[in-house]
């Protein structure tokens, strides 16, 4: 363990991310043979096999994956230290729910034009990035933070309603109203099982939803399935991405989903971070449907 080299650990991380020695070498500017020697040196230092090679790429062993968790955390900390040591942020990593990445891309690109020194990495993901551990500098979340090292800003709430395509409504719900007794006769569209705890998913279940003909983690896919007449979906009341869909009245009002923005308190005085936060908030408000907190 005392002989471990950070350079060799970086190579292992690159192999994990790239899926092969070739891609790892390209990422680090190393030849494939040098990449292989670095991995071999790391395996010798640990006395364990870390990378299994095949014609289709590489597979990491369980020992390597445990090591990767430590290496990734250390890499994030090094990047954070570099950002904090500089009065000007050079790169912001912003984590948002998958469906928000595309709408936020334009405003953040506009921000870059005014700040040529700044780079932005916008990550749309279904997991919740750990901002306290510096996996991201800014994150938009559906749940509140519990860490005392984060600054949290309530962006407001979104209201959900039930929607269908115009053809589906005309053929199946001509009065554009769904009763609980009739819900079992309809197909629904929503998120996967791991997201059924969210308010709008629980609301569809309370309306009587039983069969989900199509599920996805991507809002764009859910909207498209609804547009294609696959069933009914709970979507934001106001969202330009589904202006062509028909709102269906329900026996109970759709739920509200709070939205929060968090960032590490060490960056709170950064003009670049404040500008990015303002761009995110104004963009979400301009998209419609976001009700101001308080």
What integer is the mean pLDDT of 18-38? 85
Which pLDDT does position 31 carry in this prediction?
A: 87
Res 290: pLDDT:
66
* Cβ atoms of residues 187 and 230 within 8 Å: yes
- Mean pLDDT is lowest, of 19-28, 101-110, 222-231, 281-290, for 281-290
* pLDDT confidence of residue 3: 63
Q: Are 244 and 169 in contact (CB under 8 A)?
A: no
Region 206-220: mean pLDDT is 92
Place 247 in a pLDDT band, splitting at 50, 70 and 90: very high
pLDDT, mean of residues 141-165: 91
**Which tokens belong to 59?**
């597979």
Residue 18 pLDDT greater than 70, yes or no: yes
pTM: 0.62
pLDDT averaged over every residue in the chain: 86
C-beta separation of 76 from 137 below 8 A: no
CB 90 within 8 A of CB 273: no
In percent, the amount of the chain with pLDDT more than 90 equals 40
Whether the pLDDT of residue 210 is over 60: the answer is: yes
Residue 14 has pLDDT above 60, yes or no: yes
For residues 63-92, give the mean pLDDT. Answer: 68
Measured CA to CA, the distance from residue 150 to residue 55 in angstroms comes to 45
What are the tens digits of pLDDT across the range 38-58? Answer: 888 888 888 889 888 877 778
Q: What is the mean pLDDT of residues 214-241?
A: 91
Task: Give buried/exposed letters for 167-186 (b at 16+ CB in 10 A, else e).
Answer: ebbeebbeeeebeeeebeeb
Distance CA(203)–CA(221), nearest Å, equals 20
Does the pLDDT of residue 285 top 80, yes or no? Answer: no
Cα distances from 188 to residues 96, 168, 230, in angstroms, run 25, 12, 7
Report whether pLDDT(271) > 60: yes
pLDDT of residue 12: 85
Neighbouring residues of 26: CB distance < 8 A, sequence distance ≥ 6: 18
Strand 246-250 relative to strand 150-164, pairing:
antiparallel
Full 3-state SS string of the chain = CCCCCHHHHHHHHHHHHHCCHHHHHHHHCCCHHHHHHHHHHHHHHHCCCCEEEECCEEEECHHHHHHHHHHHHHHHHHHHHHHHCCCCCCEEEEEECHHHHHHHHHHHHHHHHHCCCCEEEEEECCCCCCHHHCCCCEEEECCCCCCCCEEEEEEEEEEEEEEECHHHHHHHCCCCEECHHHHCCCEEEECCHHHCCCHHHHHHHHHCCCEEEEECCCHHHHHHHHHCCCCEEEEECCCHHHCCCEEEEECCCCCEEEEEEEEEHHHCCCHHHHHHHHHHHHHHHHCCCEECCC
In this prediction, residue 83 has a pLDDT band, given cuts at 50, 70 and 90, of low
pLDDT recorded at residue 276? 94
Of 26-30, 106-110, 161-165, 199-203, which gets the smallest average pLDDT?
26-30
């Amino acid at each position: 363990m005392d002989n471990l080299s950070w350079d060799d650990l970086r190579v292992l991380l690159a192999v994990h991310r790239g899926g092969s020695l070739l891609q790892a070498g390209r990422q680090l500017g190393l030849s494939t043979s040098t990449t292989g020697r670095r991995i071999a040196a790391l395996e010798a230092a640990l006395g364990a096999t870390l990378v299994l090679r095949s014609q289709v790429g590489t597979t990491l062993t369980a020992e390597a994956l445990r090591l990767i968790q430590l290496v990734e955390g250390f890499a994030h900390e090094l990047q954070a230290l570099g950002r904090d040591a500089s009065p000007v942020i050079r790169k912001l990593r912003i984590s948002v729910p998958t469906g928000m990445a595309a709408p936020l891309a334009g405003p953040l690109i506009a921000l870059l034009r005014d700040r040529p020194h700044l780079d932005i990495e916008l990550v749309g993901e279904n997991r919740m990035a750990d901002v306290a551990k510096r996996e991201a500098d800014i994150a938009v979340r559906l749940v509140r933070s519990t860490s005392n090292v984060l600054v949290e800003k309530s962006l407001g709430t979104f209201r959900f309603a039930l929607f269908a395509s115009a053809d589906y409504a005309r053929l199946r719900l001509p009065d554009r109203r769904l009763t609980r007794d009739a819900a079992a006769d309809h197909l629904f569209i929503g998120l996967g099982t791991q997201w059924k705890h969210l308010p709008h998913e629980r609301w569809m279940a309370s309306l009587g939803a039983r069969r989900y003909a199509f599920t996805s983690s991507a809002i764009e896919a859910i909207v498209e399935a609804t547009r294609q007449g696959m069933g009914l979906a709970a979507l934001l009341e106001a969202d330009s991405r589904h202006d062509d869909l028909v709102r269906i009245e329900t026996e109970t009002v759709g739920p509200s989903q709070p939205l929060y923005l968090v960032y590490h308190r060490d960056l709170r005085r950064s003009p670049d971070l404040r500008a990015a936060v303002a761009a995110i908030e104004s963009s979400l408000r301009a998209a419609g449907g976001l009700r101001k907190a308080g």
